Structure 1
Amino acid sequence: MKVGVIGLGYWGPNVVRNFLSTPGVEKVYCCDIDEKRLKFAKSRFPSVEVTTDTEFILKSPEIDAVAIVTPVATHYPLAKKALENGKHVLVEKPMTSSVREAEELIETSGKRNLVLMVDHTFIFTGAVRKIKELIEADEIGDIYYFDSVRVNLGLFQHDVNVIWDLATHDVSIMNYVISSKPISVAAFGAAHYNGIEDIAYITVNFDNGTIGHFHVNWLAPVKVRRILIGGTKKMIVYDDTEPSEKVKVYDKGVIATTQEGIHRVLISYRTGDMYAPKLDDTEALSLVCKNFVESIENGTKPITDGISGLEVVRILEAAEKSIKNEGKLIKI
């Protein structure tokens, strides 16, 4: 299999490196409009072919699959053209800048029987896979809430607001680990520079009463990457800034009892042990590339397929619409 990678900015070289070490990949082509980036890629990965010609990557019969690692606004036109030319597509997150565009890509890939995958890298981390495993094993119980904080100072984006930049990660994690269906979104945000929201608070409501909450911020003095998941049996804290023990499981909870003859609920608290489960430390992006290639070879659905990418975009689009309407509840 021969893979073309379009975009060699911050993330692109990592994608190239991992495809070069993925079984089944024979050759990697690198494409960028910046000659300096191409020279860097060639010096670091001597076996790659480099070009500034995007059309060659999208149309060449030599290339079987394309990874699109470019700004969000370019995802749809590049992915659409790649699919129309018979290429399997791996596209960076978020999949597109609108629900309509995401639906079109899914339809196009389906008609041509091509793999469409979104690089929601966090879903492939050992931490998130362990959280999914714990929830599916019913160790946590029914989920009360999913609470996320992802803040830091910068990096300001020029094409998308803080929701599309930072919330994408945690929304994809939430959708992956929680099986119930989100039904509505409300959000508030503020723009202090360039007219683009740099702080936002998003609330997602589920059909079973679970609530999701996201705080994203480019103006924080510290870097925080923390998710809290509360269940009827146990609770999880996932701190991605921790060098080890990123996931901690707390045997803590609330016990509600009704005494006979008393028309009120008595609340007590359970405090048990905490443990940090062992996590697989395989590089997440290597698993993304492997899943993409294996899906093409075997004709199977990738873990983060176009539908999962669409569901993330659906929540982000609703959140942005809510912000523009002063926090109005948007049904999805």
Structure 2
Amino acid sequence: MSTRLSVAVIGAGYWGPNLARNFRASPDWHLAVICDLDAERAQRVADSVGGVPVSTSLDDVLADPSIDAVAVATPARTHHPIVLAALKAGKHVIVEKPLADERERGAEMVAEARARGLVLMADHTYCYTPAVLKIRELIADGFLGDILFVDSVRINLGLIQPDVDVFWDLAPHDLSIMDFILPGGLNPETVAAHGADPLGTGKSCIGYLAMPLAGGAIAHVHVNWLSPTKIRQMVIGGTKRTLVWDDLNPQQRLSVYDRGVDLSLQSKDTAADPRAANISYRLGDTWSPALPEREALAGVAVEFAAAIREHREPRTSGGSGLRVLSVLEAAAGSLQNLGAPIRIDVTETNAEVEDVKA
């Protein structure tokens, strides 16, 4: 289909300029307008992409019949009213993470999009990086075997957010990646979270989140605003191989280790140590798959257009965003209960999203 779709970017703050730049560069899209309450800020973004009309009125943008879709890059607390207004105006929507500031509001957004036959896409940008796409492929092909654990670390110095804690700020990245790569998506039955606020900011600045997964596996996420070093790493252990993703190492983002623990056929009667009778250690090769270097947001723009044209759910749909919200809300509940595990109604979440992972 050669005709470009028309998109408006709502919000010219931190993330809006990145969306504007990628939509402007995409052959699938015509960037129609930058909308922000601050006209000067909107104009700066418009000028940075070679000149685009600006508007301070969301109502005017949504009333424009030539605009097919909107990209929402505003604070999380505003996502619900903006997205609902856009959907009711007949616009397809992509919204930055998190999908909403409450799970119930996110569910309403997902239901509204489906009732109207419109695309609601979560901008889980990391899921469109070459590294994460490769991880998803390797897991789907069974290269790692059955997943035993996922251990994710996302720490750096700042930025301490004024309206959300470190879980809501950083963990959505890791949770959306897990939802994207794990067979069946992210569906833990319980979530336990521990947080600390050593600076007295009124919110957790350091956090640890643990989730049991299917088959006895476990996922763990460490997020931190106070670390002097920056780490973006995920370790995924399987019954066959273990994968390490180091997002800050462009020379070797992925490393696959043919090392692990195997169940041995050795008899307990002949084993030197009966406690180790059924365990053996595998020490094999390590290799790093070659990955292309390309901006993930370009892939986001392509997927958004394809989902609209093909009348299908995007890879990171509203359902994916809703699963992430379910974990975040359970984590908040666990924090309030001194780290006690909070149960998630997996059946209810799956029934609401009916997500298609194409």
TM category (shorter chain) comes to over 0.9
The one-letter amino acid paired with 1:62 is S
| Structure 1 partner of 2:28 | 24
Partner residue of 1:259 out of 254, 266, 281: 266
CA change 1:285–1:259 in 2 (3 A) is same
TM-score by length of 2: 0.89
| Structure 1 partner of 2:325 | 313
| Structure 1 partner of 2:148 | 144
Mapped pair 1:187 → 2:193: yes
CA-atom RMSD in angstroms: 1.4
Partner residue of 2:91 out of 71, 87, 91: 87
Percent of aligned positions that are identical: 45
CA deviations on 1:1-34 (whole Å, 9 max, x unpaired) are: 2211011112111101111122232342101122
Partner residue of 1:224 out of 231, 255, 267: 231
The alpha carbon displacement at 1:259 in A equals 3.2
| Structure 1 partner of 2:207 | 200
The alpha carbon displacement at 1:258 in A equals 4.8
Q: Please give the residue correspondences for 1:1-332 in structure 2 after superposition, counting only pairs within 5 Å.
A: 1-180=5-184, 181-191=187-197, 192-260=199-267, 262=269, 264-266=275-277, 267-332=279-344
Aligned length: 332
The one-letter amino acid paired with 2:189 is I
Instruction: Say whether the 8 Å CA contact 2:92–2:118 is kept in structure 1.
Output: yes
The one-letter amino acid paired with 1:302 is P
SS at 1:208's partner residue? helix
* Cα distance in structure 2, aligned partners of 1:293 and 1:270: 45
| Structure 1 partner of 2:352 | none
The alpha carbon displacement at 1:53 in A equals 1.4
User: Which structure 2 residue ranges, 5 or more long, are not aligned?
Assistant: 345-358
TM-score by length of 1: 0.96
Runs of 4+ residues deviating >6 angstroms: none
Instruction: Say whether the 8 Å CA contact 2:235–2:245 is kept in structure 1.
Output: yes
User: Which structure 1 residue ranges, 5 or more long, are not aligned?
Assistant: none
* Cα distance in structure 2, aligned partners of 1:39 and 1:153: 31
CA change 1:51–1:250 in 2 (3 A) is same
The one-letter amino acid paired with 1:188 is H
